[in-house]
């Protein structure tokens, strides 16, 4: 009885504290709104120049939200269509990626089968006018807004094309553009199925299920690889549906916990699975986030498949989009999510992000609290999903990085496309010595130069040596070092031929076979895909990984 009385007293005290905190917060909110309104009025009355209250208001809101986390954002009316694109993968437009380079906005990659491609627009075509409006010098976001519109409406483009003296004019009819959730899928000659999932938008789970059902119908599948590399996430319910394809009904896939009770929710599998036995590998990297991590992490916790690649991004937060006045919205982080092992894989604690970065850096490579999978394997909270089979990421050489940064792969591919009507299939095409020599000459003609980190360090040494009075003595040695570095830099295009040729191949192939061709060419040289094959086709290794005995 004494214990019961004590419990009741504690509950009453807790309720009193909560109500007191709520009243305090409500007062602070009212106080802050009053101060903000007065500041805005005073600025409007007395500031020396005319102000734009709407712009100031949006700046204030954005600054406030930036102090919380990167995912809690204000969505003005002008960006509502962008939200629709994130959730549905659909928008009205011409169907093309665009980029800004050398002071010009241009087509970078038209989507196969959509208005831009059907009208014959190609990468490198520069925007001059849109519906009679001069758009030279405008940035990609401005051009994008002008290109989007209601499906069925027309847009007239004046473009400048490489090798053409006169501009070309194209009239396009906008369409509903649906970005492919699954840009490529296949069954390889070894009997292993593969699908790359680029995003978690509406119906992606159904689309993936249809792909697998078709594979199982037409092939004797020895295994299946789901590629989530670079997939930044999307709709949580679609992630749950994908997990449900491989684990039994009524299993807890993920649960979320927030401040408000309505955001505490358990997500269970609701259907009979598609396949409980097929060997499964999921490919991930540092760009795999959110819904991708739910799929990979849940499959790992159930010991249903092997995760291969690099540590994932580490986003264990859930956002809801809430309607606001004047057709605006706010995307708010409302909960953390937890995987079947009860771990949360959130990388950064945003409530403590203002602490000294030294603390954060010190913990970056440490493991969080341990949890256990269904088979008893140890997994850890925080720091994303740690793969079962870790692969070192392929890092580009210094010269390749600079070639890429200066858009020279893109520019040469445009030149190559203007000079060659066709190439071999995406799988067969290779960069010949003749093509590579032509690329090296192209790079030279473009005046390509770069400053290596070694040269930057020598410049710093020169500055320090001058201050200390040593420069005259060591200058000959430094000059020799610079000359030697320049000599080595001229050889970099030859020494890194294989790496450079691969990137060049992918870019050229995309000119003829679009995004799908680029993927096919990339997979031919993919070490993580090759490792996934080895695991699936070696049943003993596959089982040992899932048992934790390897």
Kindly list the catalytic residues: 290, 315
Contact in structure between 455 and 481 (CB atoms under 8 Å): no
In whole angstroms, how large is the CA radius of gyration of the chain?
28
The Cα 443–Cα 494 span in angstroms is: 13
Look at residue 12 and give its three-state secondary structure. Answer: helix
- Which pair of tokens denotes residue 322? 């809430």
Residue 150 vs residues 77, 96, 109, 157: alpha-carbon distances, Å: 16, 16, 21, 16
Distance CA 144, CA 304 (A): 42
Give the span between the Cα atoms of 78 and 66, in whole angstroms: 20
* Token couple for 385: 């999903």
State the Cα–Cα distance between residues 29 and 23, nearest whole angstrom. 10
326 φψ region: left (φ > 0), alpha (ψ -120 to 50), beta (else):
left
Nearest to 290, CA basis, from 236, 371, 229: 236
Distance between CA atoms of residues 397 and 407, nearest Å:
16
DSSP summary character for residue 165: S
Backbone angles phi, psi at 171, to 5 degrees: -105, 120
Answer positive or negative: Cα dihedral of 363, 366, 372, 373.
positive
Picking from 351, 355, 257, 384, the residue whose alpha carbon sits closest to that of residue 69 is 351
CA 24, CA 189: separation in Å to the nearest integer? Answer: 67
Contact indicator for 175, 115 with CB cutoff of 8 Å = yes
Instruction: Report the distance separating Cα 429 and Cα 84, nearest Å.
Output: 38
The tokens describing 107, both together, are: 């087509």
Residue in the block written with tokens 């990085």 = 401
Alpha helices in 158-235 (DSSP H): 204-218
- Measuring CA to CA, which residue among 231, 235, 239, 234 is closest to residue 197? 231
d(CA 301, CA 297): 6
Give the span between the Cα atoms of 470 and 464, in whole angstroms: 9
- Whether 384 and 232 have beta carbons less than 8 Å apart is answered as no
């Amino acid at each position: 009885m004494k214990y019961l009385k004590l419990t009741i007293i504690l509950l009453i005290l807790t309720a009193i504290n909560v109500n007191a905190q709520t009243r305090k917060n409500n007062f602070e909110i009212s106080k802050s709104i009053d101060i903000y309104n007065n500041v805005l009025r005073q600025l409007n009355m007395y500031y020396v120049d005319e102000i734009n209250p709407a712009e100031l208001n949006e700046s204030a809101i954005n600054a406030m939200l930036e102090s919380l986390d990167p995912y809690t954002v204000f969505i003005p009316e002008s960006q509502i269509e962008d939200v629709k694109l994130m959730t549905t993968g659909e928008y009205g437009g011409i169907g093309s990626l665009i980029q800004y380079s050398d002071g010009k906005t241009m087509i970078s990659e038209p989507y196969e089968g959509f208005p831009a491609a059907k009208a014959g627009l190609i990468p490198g075509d520069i925007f001059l006018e849109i519906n009679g409006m001069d758009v030279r010098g405008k940035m990609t976001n401005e051009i994008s807004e002008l290109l989007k519109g209601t499906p069925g409406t027309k847009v007239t483009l004046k473009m400048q094309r490489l090798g053409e003296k006169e501009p070309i004019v194209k009239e396009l009819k906008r369409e509903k553009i649906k970005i492919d959730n699954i840009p490529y899928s296949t069954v390889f000659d070894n009997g292993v199925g593969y699908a790359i999932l680029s995003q978690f938008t509406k119906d992606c789970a159904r689309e993936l299920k249809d792909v697998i059902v078709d594979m199982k119908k037409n092939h004797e599948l020895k295994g299946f690889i789901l590629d989530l590399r670079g997939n930044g996430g999307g709709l949580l319910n679609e992630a749950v549906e994908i997990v449900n394809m491989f684990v039994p009904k009524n299993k807890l896939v993920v649960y979320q916990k927030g401040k408000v009770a309505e955001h505490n929710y358990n997500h269970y599998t609701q259907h009979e699975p598609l396949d409980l036995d097929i060997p499964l590998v999921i490919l991930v990297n540092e760009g795999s986030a959110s819904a991708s991590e739910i799929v990979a992490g849940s499959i790992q916790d159930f010991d249903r498949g092997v995760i291969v690649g690099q540590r994932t991004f580490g986003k264990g937060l859930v956002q809801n989009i809430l309607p606001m006045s004047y057709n605006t919205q706010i995307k708010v982080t409302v909960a953390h999510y937890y995987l079947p092992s009860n771990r949360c894989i959130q990388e950064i604690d945003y409530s403590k992000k203002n602490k000294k970065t030294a603390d954060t850096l010190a913990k970056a490579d440490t493991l969080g609290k341990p949890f256990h999978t269904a088979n008893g394997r140890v997994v850890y909270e925080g720091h994303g999903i740690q793969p079962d089979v870790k692969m070192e990421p392929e890092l580009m050489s210094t010269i390749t990085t600079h070639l890429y940064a200066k858009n020279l792969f893109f520019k040469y591919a445009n030149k190559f496309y203007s000079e060659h009507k066709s190439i071999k299939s995406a799988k067969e095409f290779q960069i010949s010595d003749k093509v590579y020599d032509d690329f090296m000459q192209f790079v030279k003609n473009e005046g390509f130069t770069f400053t290596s980190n070694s040269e930057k360090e020598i410049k710093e040494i020169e500055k320090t040596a001058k201050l200390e009075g040593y420069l005259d003595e060591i200058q000959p040695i430094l000059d020799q070092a610079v000359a030697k570095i320049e000599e080595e830099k001229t050889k970099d295009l030859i020494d890194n031929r294989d790496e450079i040729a691969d990137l060049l191949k992918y870019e050229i192939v995309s000119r003829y076979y679009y995004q799908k061709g680029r993927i096919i060419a990339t997979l031919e040289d993919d070490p993580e895909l090759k490792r996934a094959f080895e695991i699936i086709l070696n049943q003993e290794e596959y089982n040992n990984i899932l048992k934790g005995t390897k």
